[in-house]
Every structure is written in structure tokens, then in C-alpha cells.
Amino acid sequence: MKILKLLIIIFLFVGFFQLKSDEKNDEIKNKILKNIRCLICQGQSVYDSESDFASSIKLIVDRKINEGLKEELIYQFLRERYGDWIVYDPELNKKTYILWVLPLLLFLLGGVIIRKKLKFRN
């Protein structure tokens, strides 16, 4: 009887942790899918799209997560096949350098102009 109780407790624990792990995987999967652009219905994320392409990508992402691939490696896999554009949040590299740096430069330039103006008024 004691063994049976112990087995039930172990079974519940395993079930609980399995459920937690599935929840975590689902969270990561949804995060990735929301950050991938659907190439058929452009303007929609793969998460929102029901196209054939989106459903295949959903399966691939699911499979890669189950294989233990990290988020960044899944993005890399998709980038290698479809280019940087497939990811909504582009990484900083040679091609996206201007995209990331230009707003910062313009912001700094604006700051300098405002400061000079203020100094000039004072």
C-alpha cells in the first residue's frame, strides 16, 4: 500500500514537471512564432497566419524546440534559408548596422542642436 502511495506521488510529480516543461516550451514557441514574418501573407506574423507556409514553420519550430535547439539557433536556421527579413527583430550585423546606429546618431545630433540653441539663448 505504501509503495502504491509512493508511486502515485512520484507519478503526480513527474506529471506536474512535464506540464511545467510543456508550458515553458509553448511560451518559447509562441515568442518565436510572433517574431517570425509570414512570407506568404506579408505583414502578418507566422503566429497569426493560417497559411500553408506558416503551418509548416510552426511544425518546424515545434520540432526544433523539442530537439533542444535554443531560440537564437532557430532564428539562425530560418535566416539562413529566408534571409534576415524573416525575423521581425533584426540582429546587429553588417547589413543592419545603419538601421540600428542611425536613429541613435540622429538622436545625438538632435541633442547637440538643442543644447547649442539653449546655450545660445542663455
| Contacting positions for another protein (CB under 8 A) | 37, 39-40, 42, 52-53, 55-57, 59-60, 63, 80-83, 85-86, 113
Closest separation between CB of residue 61 and another protein, Å? Answer: 10
In the complex with another protein, the residue whose CB is nearer, 31 or 117, is 117
In the complex with another protein, the residue whose CB is nearer, 5 or 119, is 119
The one-letter code for the residue type at 100 is W
Q: Say how many C-beta atoms besides its own lie within 10 A of residue 100's C-beta.
A: 12
What does the alpha-carbon distance between residue 14 and residue 72 come to, in Å, rounded to a whole number? 29
H helix runs in the chain, sequence order = 2-34, 52-66, 71-82, 97-121
In the complex with another protein, the residue whose CB is nearer, 28 or 39, is 39
Closest separation between CB of residue 12 and another protein, Å? Answer: 34
